[in-house]
C-alpha cells in the first residue's frame, strides 16, 4: 500500500472515513514508524491548541466588543448616505437634538425674577433681559444658575427663548417693549454637572415652546443671526 504523508496527516486529523481509513489504521498499527508520525502530528496539534488557547479564553478587549455593540452606527457604510440621513433628520422639527446641547450648558446668573409689567403680561426684568439679549445657547458656560435652553420663532413671528434657573424659568418672547414673559415655570434646582437632566418644569416649558413654535428650534447659526438682528 502506498501511503503519502499527506494522507497520513489526513488520517491523523480524522479526515478519512470508511475503507481507506481502516486500511491506514491497520498500516499504522503494524508499523511503529507510521504510528510515531501520527503520534507526532497529534502531539503538535495538541501543543498548538494549548499554546493559543489563552487568547481565546481571555476577556475580549472593549474596543472589539464595542464595535459590535453599535450595530446601527456600524451599519453606516457610506458617508454620503449617512450625511443625507442626518440632513433628513434635521428638517424634522424635533427638539431633542438641540435641547440636549442646550441642557448641557448653563449660564452664570445668580437669580432671576420676572418683573411685572403694568398691564397684564409681565416683562423680563433688566437683569434677565440682559441675559436674554446677549447670551447664545452655544456660548453658555457650565456650572451656573440660569440657562437659556433654546430659542425659536413663534407662530406670530416673535423670537422666543426658553430659560431656566433657580429663581424661575419660563419662555420670553421679544416684542417692541422688551422680553414678554409668555410662560413661567418653576425654576429647577441648580445643576452643577454638564449632564443635568431636564426637570419636569423644564419639560413642560419645552413642550409649551414646541406648541408655540412655527418650526424647529434655532440652531447656533440662526440664533446668532437673530441676535444680530436684535431678536426681531
Can you give the C-alpha Rg of the chain in angstroms?
35
Helix axes 32-57, 18-30, angle to 10 degrees: 110
- Tell me what percent of the chain is helix, strand and coil, each rounded to the nearest 5: 50, 15, 35
Of 18, 61, 96, 120, which one interacts with other proteins (CB under 8 A)?
A: 61
Contact segment (CB under 8 A) with other proteins among 38-46, 96-104, 137-145, 185-193 equals 38-46
Cβ pair 30, 9 in contact under 8 A: no
CB of 50 to other proteins, least distance (A): 9
Cβ pair 64, 54 in contact under 8 A: no
3-class SS string, 20-48: HHHHHHHHHHHCHHHHHHHHHHHHHHHHH
Please tell me whether residue 35 binds other proteins under the rule CB under 8 A.
no
The span from the CA of 33 to the CA of 170, in Å, is 92
Please tell me whether residue 9 binds other proteins under the rule CB under 8 A.
yes
User: For residues 31 and 194, which CB has a smaller minimum distance to other proteins in the complex?
Assistant: 31
Cβ pair 16, 10 in contact under 8 A: yes
CB of 22 to other proteins, least distance (A): 19
Of 53, 110, 121, 197, which one interacts with other proteins (CB under 8 A)?
A: 53
Contact segment (CB under 8 A) with other proteins among 58-66, 164-172, 181-189, 208-216 equals 58-66
CB of 7 to other proteins, least distance (A): 8
User: For residues 65 and 193, which CB has a smaller minimum distance to other proteins in the complex?
Assistant: 65
Of 22, 29, 44, 141, which one interacts with other proteins (CB under 8 A)?
A: 44
Please tell me whether residue 207 binds other proteins under the rule CB under 8 A.
no
Q: Which of 38, 6, 8, 37 is nearest to 21 (CA)?
A: 8
Site for other proteins in 75-114 (CB under 8 A): 75, 77
CB of 63 to other proteins, least distance (A): 7
Amino acid at each position: 500500500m502506498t501511503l503519502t504523508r499527506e494522507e497520513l496527516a489526513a488520517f491523523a486529523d480524522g479526515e478519512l472515513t470508511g475503507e481507506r481509513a481502516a486500511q491506514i489504521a491497520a498500516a499504522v498499527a503494524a508499523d511503529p514508524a507510521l504510528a510515531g508520525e501520527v503520534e507526532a502530528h497529534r502531539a503538535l496539534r495538541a501543543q498548538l491548541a494549548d499554546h493559543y488557547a489563552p487568547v481565546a479564553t481571555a476577556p475580549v478587549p472593549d474596543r472589539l466588543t464595542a464595535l459590535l455593540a453599535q450595530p446601527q452606527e456600524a451599519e453606516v457604510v457610506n458617508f454620503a448616505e449617512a450625511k443625507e440621513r442626518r440632513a433628513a433628520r434635521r428638517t424634522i422639527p424635533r427638539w431633542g437634538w438641540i435641547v440636549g446641547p442646550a441642557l448641557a450648558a448653563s449660564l452664570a446668573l445668580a437669580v432671576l425674577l420676572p418683573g411685572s409689567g403694568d398691564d397684564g403680561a409681565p416683562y423680563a426684568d433688566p437683569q434677565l433681559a440682559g441675559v436674554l439679549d446677549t447670551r447664545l445657547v452655544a456660548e453658555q458656560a457650565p456650572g451656573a444658575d440660569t440657562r437659556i435652553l433654546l430659542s425659536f420663532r413663534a407662530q406670530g413671528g416673535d423670537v422666543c427663548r426658553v430659560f431656566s434657573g433657580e429663581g424661575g424659568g419660563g419662555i420670553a418672547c421679544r416684542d417692541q417693549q422688551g422680553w414678554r414673559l409668555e410662560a413661567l415655570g418653576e425654576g429647577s434646582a441648580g445643576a452643577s454637572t454638564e449632564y443635568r437632566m431636564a426637570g419636569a418644569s423644564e419639560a413642560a416649558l419645552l413642550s409649551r415652546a414646541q406648541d408655540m413654535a412655527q418650526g424647529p428650534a434655532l440652531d447656533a447659526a440662526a440664533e446668532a443671526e437673530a441676535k444680530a438682528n436684535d431678536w426681531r
